[in-house]
Structures are given as C-alpha cells and as structure tokens.
Structure 1
C-alpha cells in the first residue's frame, strides 16, 4: 500500500507543494502491534508509480516489496523540479560547476536538516516505525545516491545503512571522500554502492573515481557491498533491476 499527500518544505521552496509517499508493508494492518524499520528515499516521484516518474518509468518498488513480503516502511519525497537546477541544488551538499548545467549552489545540508528534524519525526509520530538508528536507512540514485552517502556519513547517528545507486560523486569527490575518511562512523554501518558498466559510455575515469570512494568506505572498516552492474545504465529501468541487491543488503541480519 502506498499513501500520498502534499507537503511543503519552507526552508527550500516556501509554501510550494510537492508529493510525499509512504509505503506500508503487507503485514502492517494485520499485525497492529508490530513496528517496522524505515527506508527514506530521494526522488520519491520515481520510486513507486510510472505515471508520476520523470521519464515515465519508476522503480516499481512497492510491487517488489509486496511480492516478497518485506517488513519495511518506505518514506520518500518528490524532488524539486524547478528548471533553475532545483533538484541538483537540493541534492548536493556542495557547490559545484558542471559543463552542462553551469554553477550550482549546493543546499543538500538544508535538505538533510529538514529530513532529519521535520520529516522523520512526523513519520515516526504518525506510523508504527522503529525510530532508532539501527533500523533507519536511506537510499537514492544519481544525485540521490550522492545524498545517501553524505547522509549515512554526516548523519551517522541517525542512519545506520545506506544504498547509493550510481551516485553522482563528481559534485565534489574530494570533499565527499574527506568526509568519509574523517567522520565518526559506527562500526555497524552498512553501505551498498553500485554503478553501471555502460553509464556515461563506460567512462573509465568515472569508474576510477567511484572506486576511490568505495576504497575510502572500505578503509573505514564498515560493511560495504560494491558492485559494477553488467550492462547497467543511468536510468530508473536499470536501477529497478538492482532492487533485490540493495534491499537484501539493507535488510540483512534483521528479523523478518
């Protein structure tokens, strides 16, 4: 079951409304005393419904979770669609310049402060969540993948596990890597990270940079699953196919 409603993020776009999404697991109604871990996701409009997705193809995540009876709540929020790089700005912790998009002011820290201090508490109040760090996860793709790596590192006291699919680390790979190397991280932290072999034409430099980030995570001694997806592309259709891998990583070792 996926519920939707409209919310505003005053810190970012004032009173302008955007959709929020909440997936409830198959057993939520029949087990009224049970509480569930929560996965927070970026680009909520691309997660569940093709009709809402930017390019007409979603991850179809609810169908997968329903079919396998995964005991997990998923909370997601639509991105900023403003043509002046609204999504890039909200989903980057760092200022950066790009040949295609120009210079972007990173407001990812504002996005995370809202998610941690406003959105998460509202989800915990309204639904039967397990609010503790050990059962609070975060995931996203591309810029959302960058934000997921940033979140599990900078806000490690909130999120214990993250999935970063095709993370767009080039906003500022050095700052991200420095954060990973120096932030206080609990040894039980779990990270899933992947990228497709065909992304951006199989650019070897990009693959090299992603390996540097994976090495930095691995060097911290936390639990890392890193994959190169054979034939993987930078698209929702490709990321949907990775659902079994990242969901299994996020849920590994938890009571079913």
Structure 2
C-alpha cells in the first residue's frame, strides 16, 4: 500500500503543496506488533507509479516490494518542481556552476535538515518504525544520488546504508571527494553505488570521476558495492532494473 499525503515545505516553496509517498509493506496491518526499517528516497514522484512519474516511467518499487514481501517502509517526498532549477537547488549539497544551468546555489544541507528534523520524527511518530541508525536508509538517483552520497557521509550518525544510483558527481567531483575524505563514517556503513555504461558520455571524464569517488569511498573502509551497469542509461527504466542488486546489498547481513 502507498499512502499519498499533500505536504508543504515552507523553507523552500512556501504554501505550495507537493506529494509525499509512504509505502507500507503487505504485513503492516496484520503484524500489529512488528516494527520496520525505513528507506528515505528522493524524487518520490518517480518511485512507485508510472502515472505519477515525471517522464511516464517509474522505478516500479511498489510492485517489487510487494512481490518479494520486503518488510520495509519507504518514505519518498516529491522533488521541488519549480522551473527555476528548484530541484537542482534542493538536491545539491554545494553551489556549482554549469554551462547549461548557470550558477546553482545548493540548499542540500537545508533539505537534509528538513528530512532529519521534521520528516523523520513525524514518520517515527505515525508509523511503527525501527528508528535507530541501523535500520534507517537513504537512496536516490542522479541529483538524488548525489544527495544520498551526501547524506551517508555527512549524516552517517542517522543513516547506516545508502543506495546511490548514477550520482551527479559532475557538479563538483573534487568537492565530493573532499566531503567523503573529511567525513566521520562508521565502518559498518553499507553503500550500493552504480553508474550506467551508456551514460558516461553525458559529461566529460565521467568514467574517471566515478572511479575516483569509488576509490575515495573504499579508502574510508566502508562496505561498498560499486557497479558499472551493462547498457545502463540515465533513466528510471534502467534504475528499476538495478533494484534487486540494491536490495540484496541493503539487507545483506541485516
């Protein structure tokens, strides 16, 4: 079941509403004493339903979780859809410049503070969650992948595991590397990170940049599963096909 709430985030978009998608596992109503881990995801409009997805194709995550009886709650707020690069601003941990987008002032820290200090407490109050770090995860793709990488490094005391799909490290690979190097990350941190073989050409030197970030993460001695996806593209259809790999990593030895 997916509950859909209308929410506001006054810090970013005032009284304008956006959707919050909350997936509850099939056992939620029948197992009244059971508590569940929680996965927070970015770009919630693209996670569950093709009819809601920005480009008409979602990750189809509800179908996967239902079919495999995955006992996990998923909380996925929709992104900022302001045409003035609202999504880029909310989903960047730092300010960057780009020939196509100009200067993007990053409000990623504010986004994460909202998730941690406002959204997570509300979810933990309203649902039977396992609210501790060990059972709190985060995931996203593209700019949401960059934010998931930011979350697992800078907020490692909150999130123990992350799924990072096609992260937009092109926005500032040296800043990303420095962020990881300076992070205080527990050795039990689990990270799944991938990039599609067909999307390396979308930005200059992306193969080298992805290899660099993977190497920096490995040097932090975290538990990293990193992949180059054969024929993978920068699309929800491709990320959907990676869900089984991600889920195997997410729940490995948990």
TM-score by length of 2: 0.98
Distance 2:163 2:182 in 1: 20
Q: Deviation of residue 158 (structure 1)? A: 0.3
- Listed one character per residue, the Cα deviations across residues 98-148 of structure 1 (whole Å, up to 9, x for unaligned) are 111111110111100000000011000000000000000000000000000
Mapped pair 1:223 → 2:223: yes
Q: Deviation of residue 201 (structure 1)? A: 3.3
Distance 1:214 1:245 in 2: 17
Residue equivalent to 1:192: 192
Question: 3-state DSSP class of the match of 1:115?
Answer: helix
- Structure 2: gaps of 5 or more residues: none
RMSD: 1.0
Say which is worse superposed, 194-203 or 227-236, in terms of deviation: 194-203
Residue equivalent to 1:45: 45
Distance 2:203 2:245 in 1: 23
Q: Deviation of residue 246 (structure 1)? A: 0.7
Q: Deviation of residue 202 (structure 1)? A: 6.9
Mapped pair 1:176 → 2:165: no
Question: 3-state DSSP class of the match of 2:205?
Answer: helix
Question: 3-state DSSP class of the match of 1:242?
Answer: helix
What count of residue pairs does the alignment treat as equivalent?
Answer: 254
Mapped pair 1:160 → 2:160: yes
Q: Following superposition of structure 1 onto structure 2, how do residues 1-256 of structure 1 map, counting pairs within 5 Å?
A: 1-201=1-201, 205-254=205-254
Kept in 1, the 8 Å contact 2:170–2:203? The answer is: no
Structure 1 residues 202 and 169 mapped into 2: Cα distance closer, same or farther (>3 Å)?
closer
Q: Deviation of residue 203 (structure 1)? A: 6.0
Structure 1 residues 139 and 17 mapped into 2: Cα distance closer, same or farther (>3 Å)?
same
- Listed one character per residue, the Cα deviations across residues 41-76 of structure 1 (whole Å, up to 9, x for unaligned) are 000000001111000000000000000001110000
Distance 2:175 2:101 in 1: 20
- Structure 1: gaps of 5 or more residues: none
Question: 3-state DSSP class of the match of 1:198?
Answer: helix
Question: 3-state DSSP class of the match of 1:93?
Answer: coil
Distance 1:84 1:47 in 2: 23
